[in-house]
Amino acid sequence: MIGMETRQEEVLEAEKAGMPQEEIRMPSGTQVSSGQQAMWFLYKMTPLSSAYNFKHAAIIKSEINADLLKRALQTVMQRYPVLRTTYSDLNGRIMKTVLSADSANCFYFEEKNAQSFSKEEVEQYLIEKCEEPFDLAQGPIVKAYLVRVSGDTAIFLLLIHHIASDFVTLEIIEKELGEVYTGLKNGNGIHLSQPAFDYTDFAIQEAEFLNSDAAKSQREYWLSNLAGELPVLNLPADKPRTQAASQKGGIIRFTVDKNLTKKVKELAANCGATPYRLFMAAYYLLLYRYTGQKDLIVGSPVSLRRNNDFNDTAGYFVNMLPFRINLEHNLSFNELLAKVNSVILAGLKQGKYPFSRMVAELQSDRDLTRPPIFQVSFTMERPNDASLAGMTRFYLGGPDTEIRFGELAMESFEFAHCASQYELSLFMEEIDEEYCAWFLYQTDLFYPSTVEQMAGHFVNILAEVTENPLQGIDQYRMISAEEKERVLNVWNRRDVTFPSTVCIHKMIEQQVRKNPGAVAVSFGDAALSYGELNQKANQLAHYLRMRGVGPGVMVPICMNPGLEMIVGLLGILKSGGAYVPLNPVYPTERIRGILEEVQPIIILSGLNFSDLFACYAERVLLLDAQWDLVSKEDTGNLDDTATPGSTAYIIYTSGSTGKPKGVMVSHSNVVRLFAATGHWYQFNNEDVWTLFHSFAFDFSVWEIFGALVYGGRLVVVPYFTTRSPEDFYKLLSREKVTVLNQTPSAFRQLIRVDEKLCKTDRLSLRYVIFGGEALELKTLAPWYERHGDKRPQLINMYGITETTVHVTYRPLSIEDVESGSGSMIGMPIPDLQVYILDENKNIVPNGCSGEIYVGGAGVAQGYFKREDLTRERFVDDFINPDRDGKLYRSGDLARFLHNGDIEYLGRIDHQVKIRGFRIELGDIEAKILEFPGVREVVVAVREDAGDKRLAAYVVMKEEQVLVSAELRTFLKARIPEYMVPAAFVEMDFIPMTANGKVNRKALPVPPAAVIDKAAGWNSPKTELEKAIAGIWRDVLGVESVGTETNFFDIGGNSLLIVQIHSRLQQTIPHRLEIITLFQYPTIKSLANFILSQQNSIARSDGEPDRAQLRRQARMRRKIV
């Protein structure tokens, strides 16, 4: 310690004498603070990044002498060695070098004549300078630019790397710069007191502290406070998170006015808190309401200049503290404030323990798309010098802010460049009895409008809690009256109705009268005209009435696709009954369970399935074998006994308990569906529809009656044709189908066939309408490449059986695919309302996810004989209490975007969490689809090996084979490591259910040896693996490591990884980025990556032919 102090005195004495001196190389060790270590590590990870360039730009509206300004800056640099220190890498350890104040690399100063520049050119010049990375090893780490824009106006830009600066350092530098400049200009000399201590003294003090019992106590506090699974804040981002996030920032300014400021201070005082803690509590409330997460961590900086010794010392004196709060159910704001008060007070007492050490010790799994431990921060700024109020606004470019440093009068200057280390940061500073506030945000994640909305909601929360602090945090009104009006009456229409005065079959009878000879339905070579269909259905209806069928009577029907099935459905409706479709491929147990619940008086079926109904033999009518019993009946239309409000059908859907639930849908539900969507589609009697889906899937309601109520032709697709994409494609071409309805899974297979057949089998499609499951827009790219987006028009319609097939409407375009949008489902059908609510039934802000509630004329009658479940899912319309209606709770997640478009986010009960991170499987699938050669993919969560693991099931294009190492490398460069599947299974096709959806239950279990990498110990085999393993052993101090062992699981951390990187660079011949070691944290994955890079370099003279290898591999099914 004494030796180092002596060396520092030598440096100071040389500076005082103004003598040039040689560079004095100091040992690293304790003379580098933990904060500097962290900054150096971040620099090493991304050396070309400008994210930690601390910048300030100001306008000087007076004559300025550039030479004097440069001399003044040199004088300031002499006073603070930390500003002229460089940091190099010595075997993975940081090495300081203090440069002479006269050294060429001590600082950089440039005068630029920009008087001929436009405003845009000036800003571009400044942006370019801000984005130039610092070279910490060579220096300088301070740069200054004087940009003259007119005779008496200049812009002064000061850039310092964060390793040597914080806000107070900026304040010190610019204050002294002004004083020295003024003294030089006026010839009065320089009268600055020498700083009592240097930054190195702080680093030494910190090192001593870290070896003390107090540090051990503080370490234990933070490790305990941050124990367990750390929450990852899932703020609703406008753009997907990527590995290559730039940390480019944007700023949104807002104000807490004087009246509200006064209320905030009063409430804080009454609760024994400070405004800082109250604002922090309001910030937690905002984050909670935006995410629904109750375990929250917000980072907040504390100054380590607590000792007055360092108040006038330049350097990096900031420590970030992660304040963790758990919100209990329906906590009042007063209770939340008390909790925040307690947590902050306790944390501040432990505030000297370096945050960088917490990261190293706590977070072994680093998600490189997010900051570690916390993703958002809060800062309440107070200037070091009380006379310089408004410094935060000044440094963040706030308008109309002027600070005078001696004779240097500086006015804040804002231009389009700033960096944001966190996803969202809130800054506040009191100026003139009101709080000025800034949200600094990452522009790679958020649009400005989203952050402006957050700012408004933060102020709304403050207004609400100061009025009623005893209210529960879930009850506060956060969205504005204008936002609520937009959701209720702009994006939803509550005044649109389509009165249903007739039943479904009456609409079909209208088409019979118009054109009885037109073909209504065909199946293979057989067909029925509208007249023939109507007569047969009438005969069956008369027969059913004779057997007791009428309104409220349920008639099960179990048949293969064919003409008899359509006759059966229409006959049941005409009789006044409700049809209950039973898919013959259903398990026998399921069919029996439904029949026991329905207790039918008659069942319609076919000869092939008579054995299914042996217990009901006397009640079964076989339409194919016993038609003679029906053919004697009258062919004329029947008088209606059913009304539009009568049940038309009951479709059973899978229940969460395993017991299917029957959804009762009325005639009016169906009739208004076509009336409400007619203006979009303009269906007519020239349209040809397919019945592709099982009639036990509600998509069939749209297919069957969409054709028949408009007088079109319905082509019933044979079951085995629905299983063969090639045969189905040819049917579409042969029958000149104009309206095709598909689940996305089924259409993906059709896209594959279209690639081969589109030139020989021409399609006549007007519309392709998607429904039934989430649509991944990227999968449509090959179709659009061949067909464009005009004809056929592709449309996505979100729907639920309980709300009558369809709820929303969204035409799709090539632009949607190119933009990388999510599963966009559009706007509600005019007579339906879609509300997106949180778990406390509050309308969520735009961009935030919540559960879809559907209201309006499409909401079904409820579940058959399931009153409790009906009450749970079909709730009173509490949003419109003046209306006697119901809202259906869908169990689906979605969010409104700022233009009113709705993005579907998946099922609530399908949300996946792996190692604390919430994962959207669709995000992984989208990235895999970008890999060359992949045609289809499904990602699923497997628990076959105990822990949750991800498995990807991949279908490759023809002549392509899945190569796991290549795909894994591809993914690790684009998504976090925890999102990369543990196993890849190559499939010939993706299995589908009878309804055309992905059959996840049929996906094979990956071999345990593939999915459970921890099951065995693999010793290093190749020379490269052995070399990496040797470095690991030396740095980590372990005896042996396996090739599948995760670096962070055996004691590795972000500090040690720098040493690993330095040693590796001495071993391998080409450059390796530190970030790569995070992406490939095992010896095997890292070795494979290095080899792939070497092979890539070797292939630069020509790509070897791998076609033969692929053909050989294609001969077998490969699981990797």
Q: Contact at 8 Å (CB) between 245 and 369?
A: yes
Note whether 391 and 275 are same-domain residues: yes
Distance separating alpha carbons of residues 693 and 696, to the nearest angstrom: 8
Indicate the pLDDT class of residue 278, thresholds 50, 70 and 90: very high
Average pLDDT, rounded, for the chain: 86
Note whether 1006 and 1036 are same-domain residues: no
Buried b (16+ CB within 10 A) or exposed e, 375-389: bbbbbbbebbeeeeb
Give the count of domains, the chain: 5
Is 176 part of a structural domain of the chain? yes
Closest CA to 989 of 944, 958, 1011: 958
Note whether 1004 and 1026 are same-domain residues: no
Note whether 1106 and 1048 are same-domain residues: yes
- Residue 658 confidence (pLDDT): 60
- Residue 1105 confidence (pLDDT): 43
Name the strands in the sheet holding 24-26, side by side, starting at the edge strand that comes first in the sequence. 24-26, 93-98, 85-90
Q: Which of 203, 229, 251 is the last residue in one of the domains?
A: 203
More confident residue, 644 or 589: 644
Once rounded to an integer, what is the mean pLDDT over residues 894-917?
80
Residue 788's region, left for phi above 0, alpha for psi from -120 to 50, else beta, is left
Return phi, psi of residue 26, to 5°.
-105, 145
DSSP H helices in 1016-1099: 1023-1036, 1056-1065, 1074-1079, 1083-1098
Render pLDDT for 1082-1118 as a digit per residue (tens, 0 to 9).
Answer: 888 888 888 877 776 555 544 444 443 343 333 333 3
Note whether 36 and 132 are same-domain residues: yes
Return phi, psi of residue 708, to 5°.
-80, -30
Is 49 part of a structural domain of the chain? yes
Render pLDDT for 161-209 as a digit per residue (tens, 0 to 9).
Answer: 999 999 889 889 989 999 999 999 888 878 888 888 999 999 999 999 9
Is 767 part of a structural domain of the chain? no
- Residue 246 confidence (pLDDT): 74
Distance separating alpha carbons of residues 946 and 856, to the nearest angstrom: 45
Domain CATH code at residue 8: 3.30.559.10
Which amino acid would we find at residue 585?
A: V
Given a cut of 60, whether residue 1001 has pLDDT beyond it is yes
What percentage of the chain reaches a pLDDT higher than 90? Answer: 58
Q: Which of 653, 672, 691 is the last residue in one of the domains?
A: 672
Note whether 507 and 642 are same-domain residues: yes
Measured CA to CA in angstroms, residue 633 lies from 539, 554, 575 at distances of 5, 21, 13
Note whether 986 and 1066 are same-domain residues: no
Cα 930 to its chain centre, rounded Å, is 18
Return phi, psi of residue 207, to 5°.
-60, -40
Domain CATH code at residue 1076: 1.10.1200.10
Tokens of 304: 């380590």
Question: Beta-strand (E) ranges in 121-223?
Answer: 142-150, 153-161
- Residue 391 confidence (pLDDT): 61
Closest CA to 1088 of 1025, 1003, 1045, 1034: 1025
Is 211 part of a structural domain of the chain? no
Given a cut of 70, whether residue 5 has pLDDT beyond it is no
Name the strands in the sheet holding 578-581, side by side, starting at the edge strand that comes first in the sequence. 620-622, 603-605, 554-558, 578-581, 647-653, 661-666, 862-863
Is 891 part of a structural domain of the chain? no
Is 27 part of a structural domain of the chain? yes
Tokens of 4: 């180092």
Note whether 445 and 542 are same-domain residues: no
- Residue 11 confidence (pLDDT): 27
Distance separating alpha carbons of residues 505 and 422, to the nearest angstrom: 60
More confident residue, 526 or 1070: 526
Distance separating alpha carbons of residues 183 and 196, to the nearest angstrom: 22
Q: Contact at 8 Å (CB) between 127 and 107?
A: no
Indicate the pLDDT class of residue 944, thresholds 50, 70 and 90: low
Once rounded to an integer, what is the mean pLDDT over residues 278-289?
97
DSSP H helices in 788-873: 814-818, 867-873
Once rounded to an integer, what is the mean pLDDT over residues 219-238?
91
Q: Contact at 8 Å (CB) between 969 and 941?
A: no
Domain CATH code at residue 976: 3.30.300.30
pTM greater than 0.85: no
Closest CA to 903 of 800, 843, 823: 823
What percentage of the chain reaches a pLDDT higher than 70? Answer: 89
Once rounded to an integer, what is the mean pLDDT over residues 584-592?
86
Sequence-ordered list of residues with C-beta below 8 angstroms from that of 238, at least 6 positions apart, any chain: 445, 446, 447, 450, 847
Indicate the pLDDT class of residue 1044, thresholds 50, 70 and 90: confident
Note whether 314 and 367 are same-domain residues: yes
Give the structural domain span for 313. Answer: 217-401+414-477
Closest CA to 612 of 564, 650, 556: 556
Render pLDDT for 661-695 as a digit per residue (tens, 0 to 9).
Answer: 999 999 999 999 999 999 999 999 999 999 999 99
Tokens of 353: 């323990």
Least confident of 178-187, 619-628, 963-972, 1100-1109: 1100-1109
Looking up tokens 């005019």, which residue turns up? 830
Note whether 187 and 271 are same-domain residues: no
Note whether 174 and 186 are same-domain residues: yes
Distance separating alpha carbons of residues 726 and 834, to the nearest angstrom: 38
Once rounded to an integer, what is the mean pLDDT over residues 33-39?
92
Given a cut of 80, whether residue 243 has pLDDT beyond it is no
Closest CA to 340 of 274, 390, 401: 274
Distance separating alpha carbons of residues 1082 and 1042, to the nearest angstrom: 8
Domain CATH code at residue 657: 3.40.50.980
Is 252 part of a structural domain of the chain? yes
- Residue 1114 confidence (pLDDT): 37
Is 721 part of a structural domain of the chain? no
Note whether 282 and 363 are same-domain residues: yes
- Residue 273 confidence (pLDDT): 95
Render pLDDT for 811-841 as a digit per residue (tens, 0 to 9).
Answer: 999 999 988 778 999 999 999 999 999 999 9
Given a cut of 50, whether residue 471 has pLDDT beyond it is yes
Domain CATH code at residue 323: 3.30.559.30
Measured CA to CA in angstroms, residue 541 lies from 76, 94, 559, 621, 634 at distances of 98, 88, 17, 13, 9
Q: Roughly how many angstroms between the first and final C-alpha of the chain, as a whole number?
A: 57
Distance separating alpha carbons of residues 318 and 303, to the nearest angstrom: 5
